[in-house]
Every structure is written in C-alpha cells, then in structure tokens.
Structure 1
C-alpha cells in the first residue's frame, strides 16, 4: 500500500469522526441567546488542527463539566462555526455554497481567530474571485470588508490589495453607493491616503 493511499485512508477515517462519532469530549456553545447552538467535538482533533484550540486547552480556557470540556464562542454565528468545524475535521469547505458566500467575511474573521491559515488563503482568493464576477457583492459587502482590512493592516494582504485596486481603478463604484458612509475613520483615512487614487473631487454633501 502506497503512502498516498495510507494518507487518503487516514483522512477519510478522521473525516468520519465529524458526524459519525459518539465519543466527543468537547461542547462548544456558539452564538448568543435564542441563536445559540451547541457543537460537539474531540479535543485531540481541535488541538491538532488549530493553534487557537491548542492554546485554549493548555491555558485552561475551557471549563470542565463532567466528562466534557465546555467552550463559549458568543462572537461567532452558528452557521459559520459549522463550516469551520467541518473544515477542521475534513480539510474541505464548499466555498461556492450560499451559506459560505453570504458569510465570507464572518468566516474570514473566525478563521483568523482560530489560526486556520490555509483556510484564510482560500477565503481571500474566493472573495477576490467573487468580487470580480459580481459588482453587487462588493458594493453590498464593501464597507464591512474595507473596515476589516484597513483596521488589520497586513493580516489579509491579498484582500488589502483588492481593496486598494478597487479604490484606484473604479472609486465611484463604491463611493457613490449608500454603503460608503458606513466606513469607519481608519478605513476612510487609508483610502484618502492612497497615492494613486484618481479622483479630482469627491462630493460629501
């Protein structure tokens, strides 16, 4: 049996733990109030796949309730964590699904928090592809994206380049939209300071 075959078999067996196991030892409370959901997982998988969870267990961030470690993640919505957890177990994520497209930015932030660098790379590239194919998407999500990128300079370099290019090549596409006024001060200042920004005058009235 080749090494590749062994690797594929191991990945398949670990992937099966995502929805077929009955020996979970972690409960993760995700979301808040009526939108809160509980996800079950294995501490050994979380440790192996995420530096965030490795640190969480070593620093005793999780409470122990009976046989379970209990985490609380109120800052992540359940649909996003479900995608993240499946990625942790299987190494895959269907980036072209509606749930993912509607939550690209939330996924990006969650992946960054949990130090899932490979997923961050894939998400950045897919946001770039989506913005090229669909102007409406970047107009609708631009404020949130710009605020995140320009308040985390250097964290998402591909998206920072995308945002800069949008403002340089077609600034009116975004500036003339109603969403523009949701920019925070840091993001707006970064845009104004772009040396290649080709706009003679911007009306703010």
Structure 2
C-alpha cells in the first residue's frame, strides 16, 4: 500500500473517531453498567453482528434505540467501540490483563477478526503472562470454540507441564469441557489418578464430572 493510500485510510479512521466523540446525530444509546454511549446505528449495524441483531429486533423509543450490554466492563467497551468505529486498535498500549479481558466481549459482539487477533497477539507476544495466569486462561479458552488458538496453546503447555495447573488453587474450579479435553490427551505427562485425586481433595467430588475410561470412552459420574 502506498504512503498516500495509508494517509487516506488514517484520515478516514480519524474522521470516524471524531464522529464517535462528537455524538453528532446519534440514534442509539448503549448502556454499559452505569454509563451510556450515544452511537450510530449505521456503524453498529455494519460492524457488529451482535448489534445488527439488536438493531433489527429492538423497538425505537422517540426515534432512539436503547440497548443494554451486560457482562462487559465500561473500560473494555470503550476500547471495543473505538475499534468498531475506526477499525484500528493498538494492543501494545494496554496491559496484558486488559487485552485478555477484551476477548470475551469481542466474541459477544461478533468481532471475529479481533478475537483471532487478540489470541495471536497474546500467544506470540505474551506467552509468559499466559503461563502465569494459566488457570484463568485455560478455563476461559473453553467457554467458546472461537477461542481455539488459546485452547491449543494451553493444552500443549499443560500436557508437557501438568503441575502448572495442578498446583493452582483454581484447578478444582476448572470447567468440565476443559477437563475432558485434558484427559483425552495421549501425551499427558502425568497419571490420570493424580488429576482425580487433586479434584477430590479440592471438593470437586460433589460436582458432576466426567471420567475418561480406556474401554468406555467418556463416562459421567456423580
């Protein structure tokens, strides 16, 4: 891309950033926590599958569509809405925890390309942090199949270094599908009984869990 083309794209992006800040001619109010954002349906409809669905199913009140966004922090939404308007995001300027906290709301808003980018950025640039926060990353990665890159990263690490998560206080709260995926690994460098011992010692025996057996596949126990 030529320098002139790049400058034109930057100008275009900046113009939409100014539109977001000015709130000019807004026709949508998105409520996140205690804060309201005055936005534009044309931008939201085109850029987000979540908002596209909301805009086509929500009734206007005084020519304004009101949408309440749950399970998303104000900080995360400010970053994401700027990305939606401008098409740009500089992950390098944020702390690791902030970047990771963008993953789930990005997925909720249907920003597939950003979900992939966040995962790639963390894996390529912040592997040490991912290992430090392994239990949280591992459990979150199995909340949705769109987090496949993180799933692969985590299961590869865990198969080689299972004590990373076994020693964590958060291990007993590991999601069931994450546990199943772990037990399916042929290259797991730990005996299966050690995993169950850790779960039972942590009180997980009171929960519904899955046991991997060699002859019967997955067998649910209670």
Q: Which residue of 1 aligns with 2:136?
A: 144
User: Which residue number corresponds to residue 74 of structure 1?
Assistant: 70
Aligned match of 1:170: 161
CA distance in 1, matches of 2:122, 2:47: 23
- Structure 2 distance, partners of 1:50, 1:113, is 9
Shift of 1:15: 2.2
1:125-153 CA distances to partner (integer Å, 9 max, x unpaired)? 1221454233xx5343x333322323433
Q: Which runs of 5+ in 1 are unaligned?
A: none
Instruction: Report the CA distance between 1:4 and its aligned residue.
Output: 5.1
Counterpart CA distance in 1 for 2:20 and 2:148 is 32
Counterpart position of 2:173: 182
Runs of 4+ more than 6 Å apart: none
The alignment's TM-score, normalised by the length of structure 1, stands at 0.82
TM (norm. structure 2) is 0.76
Larger radius of gyration: 2
Deviates more, 1:173-182 or 1:144-153: 144-153
- Whose relative contact order is higher, 1 or 2, with alpha carbons under 8 Å and at least 6 apart? 1
* Residue segments in structure 2 that go unaligned for 5+ positions in a row: 202-222
Deviations 1:78-119 (A, max 9, x none): 111111101111222232344x52234431111111111121
Q: Indicate whether 1:118 and 2:113 are aligned.
A: yes
Query: Which whole-Å CA distance do the structure 1 matches of 2:51 and 2:157 have between them?
Result: 36
Q: Provide the aligned C-alpha RMSD in A.
A: 2.4
Q: What's the counterpart of residue 26 of structure 1?
A: 28
Match of 1:45 among 39, 43, 50: 43
